[in-house]
Every structure is written in C-alpha cells, then in structure tokens.
C-alpha cells in the first residue's frame, strides 16, 4: 500500500493574463475601430466607414449564424447555405416589385412595411426550401463530411441554376424604397440611411438570438447539444428534431440576410449566395465553429476591415480578409471562441 501523494488543492483566481486572453476576442472590435481611426485620420470619413463596416458585418453575421449552429449541433457542414441567401433575395425582391406602390410612396411606414413583408416572404420561402433540402439532401449523409461537402456543393449548383430557370439568367437591379434612399449627415459624416437600418436590424437579431439561446429551454438544449450531443440525447431530448428546427431557422435567417444584402447592393444575381459563402466561411472559421458570439465578432471584424482597407488601399481589400483569417488562425488555430466539443 502506498500513501496517496499529498496535495493541497487551492482555488486560484485567474491571473490578469488569462482573463485578458478570455476576453481578447471581445476587445478586438474596439481595437480595430481605434486602429482604423488612427490610420484614416479624418473623423468624418472614419465614421462613414465604420457605420458601413458595421452594417456589412451585421448582414454577414445574419447569414453566418445559421451555418455555425448547424455545424455545432450535428457536425453537418452545409456548402449549400449560400443557395438560401440567393433564394431569399430573389423572393424578397419579387415581393418588393409586387409592392411597388408601397416602396415608391414617400411614407416611412409603408416603406418599412414593404421591406418587412419582403423579409417575411423570403424567410418563409428559404425556410420551406431548407426543410425539403434537409430531408432529401442532408439527411442521407449524416456523419460523413466528405459526402456532405460533395452533395451540398452539388445541391448549391442545382438550386442556383433553378433560380436561373425561374427568374431568368440576367442580374436584376432594384431601387431602395423611397424614404431609405440617400444619407443623413451627422457630425459632417454622411451616413446612408439604409446602412443604419441594417445595423439596427442586425443588432436586434443578435440580441434576440442571444436571448433565445441563453434564456429559453430550447436555447439551453441547443447549446448543450452543441457541446455534447450524445449526453443530451441520453437525457431524452430528440436532438434530430431540434437540429431540423435549427437548420430551418438558420436558412430562414440566410434568406433574411439575402434580402438585406440585395437592398444593400441594389442588384441580385443567382451567384450572390455563392460569393457570400466565401466571407461566411471566413467568419465561421475565425469565430470558431459552433460559436454564435464568435461568428458575430468575426463578422464585425471582416466587415470593418474590408471597409477600412478598401478606403486606404483598394487593391488589398480582398486579400485583407484572407490575411485576417491567417492572423487569427496563427493566434488561435481553432478560431477565436471554439465551442469545446466532448467527443
């Protein structure tokens, strides 16, 4: 018999270094905004760029949030996510054209109402298609990443081509509703009205999502499922069902993001979702797969950096995102806030 080695467990408070490490991702956004101010100099253009960067970041976040949760929950990687962005955009824009009486009236209430209806239609449509998508495309390939990637890429192409068949192959131009055109001046900085609306909607969705995830039972199940799915199933919850719900909700959000992006760019093409997927993947990777907060911070970083760099050195704008991703992965190979997955 040997005596157990002597040990005196003590509770130590985290040192400042560890605490800084934990909160570092949250600090990155203010740091980047400050760095942008230092690099740009002129406060008015800095403010304009910051708002447009935040607007862009919010929209990317809306589109990326579903993808990261779907991955976290069921280990499913959906390259076809971009198709829901395009589908939502086309549906929303069709509704906007249909409601042209509302969008051309100079009344804010009617304009916002038209956008609201367009968003609703887009979300319902994207959600409905994603339900069928989940059943036919994704369900048979649970558990095999290789097949998931191949199948969903194929499905992305098919859906994009179907958009061509239904809505035609040409890009569609649209105008923003009357009262959202133009800009307001604020401390000498021109802030486009629509971008402010985009920031408001994006922030609202982030807060709503956080509330649902943190303070409701379903949110608890989703978060627990991301961390340890088997355990949640063992406790009697049907994670498959939750997953389908999250998949549909995530795709509906992608559709919403599509409508907002369409109004932002004022032109839509069937390939827009595919192009957005590149930014979305960058956001999801640097945020940490499965983490909603990480995706939010990542999206803001991408949006801000892209706008700052495009102002300072237009040619580098595209490479800036890749550089950001490289830097973050060097710092944290799993992304900023990876969800610890019990395997």
Which positions touch another protein (CB under 8 A)?
77, 79, 137, 140, 145-147, 149-151, 153-158, 160-162, 164-165, 169, 274-275, 277-278, 281-282, 284-285, 289, 315, 318-319, 321-322, 325-326, 329-330, 333-334
Q: For residues 27 and 158, which CB has a smaller minimum distance to another protein in the complex?
A: 158
- Give 139-146 contacts, CB < 8 A, sequence gap 24+: 142/74, 142/76, 143/75, 145/75, 145/77
Closest CA to 98 of 115, 112, 86: 115
C-beta closer to another protein: residue 48 or 321 = 321
Beta carbon nearer to another protein, 198 or 336: 336
SS3 category, 293: helix
User: What is the smallest separation between the CB atom of 283 and another protein, expressed in angstroms?
Assistant: 10
Residue 223 token pair: 């978060």
For the bound state, the minimum distance from the C-beta of residue 281 to another protein, rounded and expressed in Å, comes to 4
Question: Between residues 201 and 285, which has the closer beta carbon with respect to another protein?
Answer: 285
Distance CA 39, CA 312 (A): 8
DSSP code of residue 135: I
CB of 272 to another protein, least distance (A): 13
Question: What does the angle CA 24 – CA 218 – CA 260 come to, to the nearest 5 degrees?
Answer: 65
> What is the nearest approach in angstroms of another protein to the Cβ of residue 50?
24
Nearer to another protein, 124 or 157 (CB): 157
Q: What angle do CA 265, 267, 268 make, to 5 degrees?
A: 110
Rounded to the nearest 10 degrees, the angle between the axes of helix 193-215 and helix 292-312 is: 160
- Decide whether 160 or 293 has the Cβ nearer to another protein: 160
Output the smallest distance, CB 123 to another protein, in A.
25
Tokens of 189: 């900085």
**What is the closest distance, in whole angstroms, from the C-beta atom of residue 31 to another protein in the complex?**
23
Q: Is residue 317 a contact partner of residue 306, using CB atoms and an 8 Å limit?
A: yes
Kindly state the smallest distance separating residue 147's Cβ from another protein, in Å. 6
Nearest to 112 by CA among 102, 126, 125: 102
Least distance (Å) between residue 171 CB and another protein = 15
Task: Report the residue number, 96 or 324, with the smaller CB distance to another protein.
Answer: 324
Which two structure tokens, joined as six digits, stand for 106?
Answer: 């100079």
Name the residue nearer to another protein (CB basis): 252 or 284: 284
Q: Based on CB atoms, which residue is closest to another protein, 71 or 264?
A: 71
The least CB distance from residue 278 to another protein, in Å, is: 5
Separation between Cα atoms, residue 332 and residue 287, nearest integer Å? 10
> The tokens of 283 are what?
């956001």
Q: Which has the closest alpha carbon to 68: 226, 261, 180?
A: 226
CA distance 280 to 221: 25
Q: Which of 275, 240, 224, 210 is nearest to 76 (CA)?
A: 240
Q: Is the separation of the CB atoms in 78 and 148 below 8 Å?
A: yes
């Amino acid at each position: 018999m040997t005596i157990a080695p002597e040990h005196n467990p003590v509770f130590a408070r985290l040192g400042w270094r560890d605490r800084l490490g934990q909160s570092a991702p949250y600090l990155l956004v203010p740091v980047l905004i400050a760095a942008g101010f230092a690099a740009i100099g002129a406060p008015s253009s800095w403010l304009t760029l910051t708002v447009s960067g935040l607007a862009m970041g919010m929209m990317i976040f809306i589109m990326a949030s579903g993808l990261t949760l779907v991955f976290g929950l069921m280990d499913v990687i959906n390259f076809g996510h971009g198709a829901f962005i395009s589908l939502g955009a086309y549906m929303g824009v069709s509704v906007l054209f249909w409601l042209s009486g509302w969008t051309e009236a100079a009344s804010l209430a009617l304009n916002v109402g038209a956008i609201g209806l367009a968003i609703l239609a887009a979300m319902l449509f994207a959600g409905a298609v994603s339900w069928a998508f989940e059943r036919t495309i994704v369900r048979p390939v649970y558990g095999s990443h290789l097949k998931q990637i191949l199948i969903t890429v194929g499905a992305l192409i098919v859906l994009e081509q179907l958009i061509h068949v239904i809505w035609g192959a040409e890009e569609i131009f649209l105008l923003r509703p009357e009262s959202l055109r133009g800009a307001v001046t604020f401390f000498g900085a021109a802030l486009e009205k629509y971008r402010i609306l985009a920031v408001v909607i994006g922030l609202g969705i982030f807060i709503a999502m956080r509330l649902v995830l943190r303070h409701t039972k379903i949110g608890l199940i989703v978060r627990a499922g991301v961390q340890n799915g088997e355990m949640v199933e063992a406790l009697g919850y049907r994670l498959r069902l939750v997953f389908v719900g999250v998949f549909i909700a995530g795709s509906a959000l992608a559709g919403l993001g599509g409508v907002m992006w369409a109004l932002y760019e004022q032109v839509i093409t069937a390939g827009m979702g595919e192009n957005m997927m590149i930014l979305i993947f960058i956001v999801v990777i640097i945020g940490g797969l499965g983490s909603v907060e990480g995706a939010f911070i990542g999206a803001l970083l991408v949006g801000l950096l892209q706008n700052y760099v495009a102002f300072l050195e237009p040619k580098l704008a595209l490479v800036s995102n890749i550089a950001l991703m490289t830097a973050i992965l060097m710092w944290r190979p799993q992304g900023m806030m990876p969800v610890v997955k019990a395997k």
